[in-house]
Every structure is written in structure tokens, then in C-alpha cells.
Amino acid sequence: MSGYRDLGYKSYFVNVKNTNFAFNSLLSPLINEIATYTEIDLPLLREKGIQLAFKREELLFPGISGNKYRKLKYNIQVAKAAKQHTLLTFGGAFSNHIAAVAYAGKIHGFKTIGVIRGEELASLPLNPTLEKAKSHGMSFHFVTREAYREKHRPQFVAKLQETFGHFYLIPEGGTNALAVKGCAEILHESDAKYTHICVAVGTGGTLSGLAEAAFEHQEILGFPALKGTFLQKDICNFTQQNNWSLFESYHFGGYAKVTPPLVHFANQFSNDTGIVLDPIYTAKMVFGTLDLIANDYFASGAHILMIHTGGLQAIEGMNKKLRKQDIEWLL
């Protein structure tokens, strides 16, 4: 467990209490936006004098849950207003975003196209994430990893337009100004009591929205699921706030990488609290948050809110990988 402290989690998770907050949806009349708060009572928290809660964004809507719902909300509105008929976006083989766009396209009547990183995947059986996206009507365009890195260039997009015609482009991970606007709606007046907001980070859109919406006294803590320091610059493109920081030591090897200790932690957390964590994002964030608490990063009296950003669809595909390695798999 190099680089991570064994916190003895089994004794930590002993009591869970749920409260609900409902508000109207602007994305679809069929969707009722619901944020569930789970307050967690742990011996560690009592020892440190800290309160901890989970905001359950993953329960918003099946298929477009968590931050993906927030990111797509205004993009869908704009695409409809522009009378677009096709959504095109980018992602990897386990992408929550790819799965969410496919589902959103299905329920809103859009054709969807996923530009998928990894040309070799075209000749392999689809994993559960891509199979699910296909079942919702998404077609795939597999490209090499080298070509994928050019996706931001106008020439690359122009070639896609030559191939597929007109489309509404949604960036990788769904992060653009409209996504940041949607993610800012995660926080509400009822969240003013929290001193710290903890969230997993992929492309930085969710953290940017939280930074824009945070109250003056709040600190936003981001836990990147990827290796590298590029996120700092990316986030600064979407927010000028200085109320956030990144903790880059909890990626467990990088994007879509997991280790046996992380899998064990996620299973233990689920068993003890009833909250399922996705292995790519939220499990790493929760691990990091509890590690910071154990190491006295937070002062006594802190009131911390963790954001569950969804991504549970990736568990099935991850378990296929874990079973091949003959190690503990996610419950």
C-alpha cells in the first residue's frame, strides 16, 4: 500500500442518516432533481471533532447520474434550441460521459456519436460501458491514441464534420462553460453550513462549478483521478476563483487504474455505510478525504461535504478486469 496510510476503516463506519432535498428540473419534465445528504458518524470524526456528509448526486437519475447530469443539462438545452439532431463527443472505453451522452441522446431524441480513444478497441468485443452506450443508440468512431490527442484542434473537428455532417460537439468529459454552469447548481443555500467541499476531478468542470458557487468561507478540495499537473491550468480556464486546491497523491496509478487496497476500501465502505463508490473517481476521493482527516489536515470543528459524482456504471467493466487478475473485485 505504498504511499497510502492504512486507516483501519472497518471500525470507522458505524452510523448513517439520510435527509432529502428536492428541486425542479430544467432538463426534462420526466426528471426530478434530487440531492440526498448522507451524514456519516465515525469514531475517527468524533476523535478529530469533524462532521462529514455525502451529497448523493449519483441518485439524480439512472443513466445520467451525478455530475454528468449537471454537465449535460444546459448543453442539451442549447442543442435543442439550435435544432441540432446529432451529439458528438469523446471518451475512453470506461467513460461515464460516453454512457451518459448515449442515454441522454436516447431520451431526448438525438443521434449520438462517440469518438473513442484506442483504435484497437474496434476489433475487440465491447466492454459493458460501450455495450450499454451502443444499446442506447450511440455509434462509435475509434481513433488511435495519437489522433485522440488532436481532438481539440480545428482540423480534427473539421475531418469529423466531413465524415458525420453537422453535429453539436460536447467536449471530453462534458466540460465546457455550460457544464460549469450546471455543476454550480450542485451547491445550494442549505450547503452554507459546510466549511469544505471534497470532489473527485477528471476534466475539472465539476470542481470549477463548485468553485464558482461556493460560499466565501468554503474551501474546495479536488482529488484528481489522473496523473499529471495539467489540470491546474485547465481549471483556471473555467474559474478565476482561488478557493480551491488539488490533492494529486490519490490517483492510485492514474485514470481507470485501481489497486487491491483501493478495491478493499471501496467494498468496506459500501458494507459499512450502504454507499457504493465507483472505483475510477469517487472511491479515490473518499479515501483521500479520510486520509487527510486522519493526518489532521482539517481543524477541529470542520464540517465537510463530499460530492458523490456517480460513475457506478463502470463497476461492471472494472470487475471483468479484476476477475482476470484473480484479485478481490467490487461488490
Inter-residue contact 6 to 287 (CB < 8 Å): no
Task: Give yes or no on whether 9-66+177-324 and 67-174 have one common fold.
Answer: yes
**Among 3.40.50.410, 3.40.50.1100, 1.10.1240.10, 3.30.1300.10, what is the CATH number of 9-66+177-324?**
3.40.50.1100
Above 50 in pLDDT, residue 54? Answer: yes
Residue 14: the pLDDT is 36
pLDDT of residue 272: 83
257-261 — which CB contacts under 8 Å span 24+ positions?
258/283, 258/318, 258/322, 259/1, 260/327, 260/328, 261/1, 261/4, 261/6
- Whether residue 12 has pLDDT greater than 90: no
Ranking 7-21, 73-87, 243-257, 292-306 by mean pLDDT, the lowest is: 7-21
Residue 289 to residue 296: CA distance in whole angstroms = 11
Q: What is the mean pLDDT of the chain?
A: 88
Provide the β-strand partners of residue 22: 34
Sorting pLDDT into bands at 50, 70 and 90, what band is 33? low
Residue range 87-109, pLDDT digits in tens: 999 999 989 999 999 999 999 99
Closest alpha carbon to 171 in 131, 115, 121: 115
pLDDT band at 22 (very low <50, low <70, confident <90, very high): very low
How far apart (Å, rounded) are the C-alpha atoms in residues 74 and 183? 10
Q: Please compute Rg for the chain using Cα positions.
A: 19
Strands 33-41 and 15-23: antiparallel
pLDDT at position 34 = 58
Alpha-carbon dihedral 89, 253, 40, 34, rounded to 10 degrees:
0
> Which 8-state DSSP code applies to residue 240?
-
Give the C-alpha separation, 180 to 191, whole Å. 18
* pLDDT tens readout for residues 242-274: 999 999 999 999 888 889 999 999 999 998 888
List the helix and strand counts (H, then E) for the chain. 12, 11
Domain ranges of the chain: 9-66+177-324, 67-174
Residue corresponding to grid cell 481549471 = 235
Residue range 67-174 in CATH 3.40.50.1100? yes
Measure the CA dihedral 76/79/84/86, to 10°.
-40
Measure the CA–CA gap between 128 and 25, rounded to whole angstroms. Answer: 29
CA pair distance 73, 102, nearest whole angstrom: 14
Q: pLDDT at position 19, please?
A: 36
Q: What is the pLDDT of residues 169-178, one digit of tens each?
A: 999 999 999 9
Say yes or no to pLDDT of 233 above 90. Answer: yes
Mind listing the pLDDT tens digit for each residue in 267-301? 999 988 889 999 999 999 999 999 999 999 999 99
Residue-level pLDDT at 216: 97
**pTM to 2 decimal places:** 0.88
pLDDT digits (tens, 9 = 90+) for 123-163: 999 999 999 999 999 999 999 999 999 999 999 999 999 99
CB 231 within 8 A of CB 206: no
d(CA 169, CA 40): 40
Q: Residue 26 — very low, low, confident or very high, per pLDDT cuts 50/70/90? A: very low
Spatial separation of the C-alpha atoms in residues 130 and 251, rounded to whole Å: 23
**What proportion of the chain, given as a percentage, has pLDDT over 90?**
73
Q: Bridge-partner residues for 115, per DSSP?
A: 90, 141
d(CA 99, CA 117): 14
User: How far is it, in rounded angstroms, from Cα 68 to Cα 162?
Assistant: 28
